[in-house]
Structure 1
Amino acid sequence: MTDLDDLRARIERLEGVTAHHTDLLDDLVNGVIGPRPEPTPSPPAPQPSRAIDPEDLAAWVQRHVTSVIARPIRGELRWCPRWWEHAEALFRFEALHRAWTELGGEPGTALSVWIRDHLDPCLRELLSPTGPFADCDLTERFGMRGDHLPLSTLHTVPYRS
């Protein structure tokens, strides 16, 4: 083998290595090989609904709803002093509480948004003549007699300047 044959063999090997590297680079650019892509994170598992704590909810409703809402309960408006005995009322007040938790501490117009978008529609439904308290002015509801009467108004404290 001459020096020229040796040189030709080396060039062929280098051309083969170069071709192989070119193929690898093309595959890398085209995404055929290379670092594995990061796995797509799976969405978080849904959290089980936390149970409603009736005592906490009742305290929250007293503090943030009934003590500040002054509506004379007359005509078609209905309120029930035992609102917690109404599944719909519990459901709606819990939804209000969750919205409050998200919006109540935000600056700016968040409180106004909570009132407009959450509290007012909820109260319209609860106090409506077809709402969950519609029969609470009757002396009989769900087998209870006599002591289940609506309040004439929601309890409020007069504003003093």
Structure 2
Amino acid sequence: MSESADDSGPVRIPDHDLDDLAATVRALVAQSQQQAEVLSRLTDEPSTPQEDVPSPPTDETGAEGTSSSFIMALTGRAYAKELAALATWVCDLLLPVYGREITTSRPWCHQWHEHPEAVARLHALWLAWQQYTDGEAGLAGPSTWHRDHLDPALLQLRAPDGPFGACTTSPTRPNHRLLTGPECAVDGG
């Protein structure tokens, strides 16, 4: 019989590669813990009803029990749970790392969860983040997430004419105002 790789003795790794390997292991362990926390939040029932959480418009596609994971397809308690998990990600990871200063050219709203467009874009960004930071996404996953998802989403969200255009443009003067969008008129004739 031929010898297997396991029979050839201990694996030797050059010292200069050990630091990289240790950093990779630490990052994977931290990512695994973070995903476990997100999963735990998603599976836990809220202890009190969240009546102050706005719900998206409902229609036949937004019924409870929908198979879509996109937040705009959820209603009621499922929407509230997903919004709470999204808020944790936005406040604990996205804003501390990518928030940048609030200016007239980069507005932000502390009540972002009341802007349906912002909720939709941030949720899509979070879903992509979960996919592209997963170990199966490969080493280029995070780079792809930055290029294809984060940068375009932030350009839209924080544009002067974006969903926060009438909101905070100075961190010392918080402001919140929902802009009215175009109305849809269906002609009956």
Q: State the TM-score, normalizing by the size of structure 2.
A: 0.46
Report deviation, 1:48.
2.3
- How do 1:1-161 and structure 2 match up within 5 A? 48-50=67-69, 51=74, 52=79, 53-105=82-134, 106-137=137-168, 141-142=177-178
Which residue identity lines up with residue 68 of structure 2 in the other structure?
S
Structure 2: 5+ residue runs without aligned partners?
A: 1-65, 169-173, 179-189
140 and 84 in structure 1: CA distance in 2 versus 1, 3 angstrom threshold: closer
Shift of 1:104: 1.0
Identity %: 38
Q: What RMSD in Å do the two structures reach over aligned CA positions? A: 1.9
Q: Identify if the C-alpha distance between structure 1 residues 130 and 110 changes in structure 2 by more than 3 Å, giving closer, same or farther.
A: same
Alignment coverage as a number of residue pairs = 96
- Pairwise CA distance, 1:78: 0.4
Structure 1, gaps ≥5 residues long? 1-46, 143-161
Contact 2:109 2:176 in 1 (8 A): no
- AA paired with 1:49? S
Distance in 2 (alpha carbons) for counterparts of 1:99 and 1:70 = 18
Residues 58 and 139 of structure 1: CA distance in aligned 2, closer, same or farther (over 3 Å): closer
Task: Give the structure-1-normalised TM-score.
Answer: 0.54
- Per mean C-alpha deviation after superposition, the further-off stretch among 96-105 and 116-125 is 96-105
1:109 deviation in Å?
1.0
When Rg is computed on C-alpha atoms for both structures, the one with the higher figure is: 1
Determine which structure has greater relative contact order: mean sequence separation of CA pairs < 8 Å that are 6+ residues apart, divided by chain length.
1
Show structure 1 runs of 4+ deviating over 3 A. 137-140
Partner Cα separation in structure 2 for residue 102 and residue 140 of structure 1: 32
CA distance in 2, matches of 1:122, 1:71: 14
- What is the deviation of 1:64? 2.6
Alignment partners' CA distance in 1, 2:140 and 2:176: 43
Q: Deviation string for 1:97-130 (max 9, x for gaps)?
A: 1111211113311101101110011000000011
Counterparts of 1:139 and 1:60 in 2: how far apart (Å)? Answer: 23
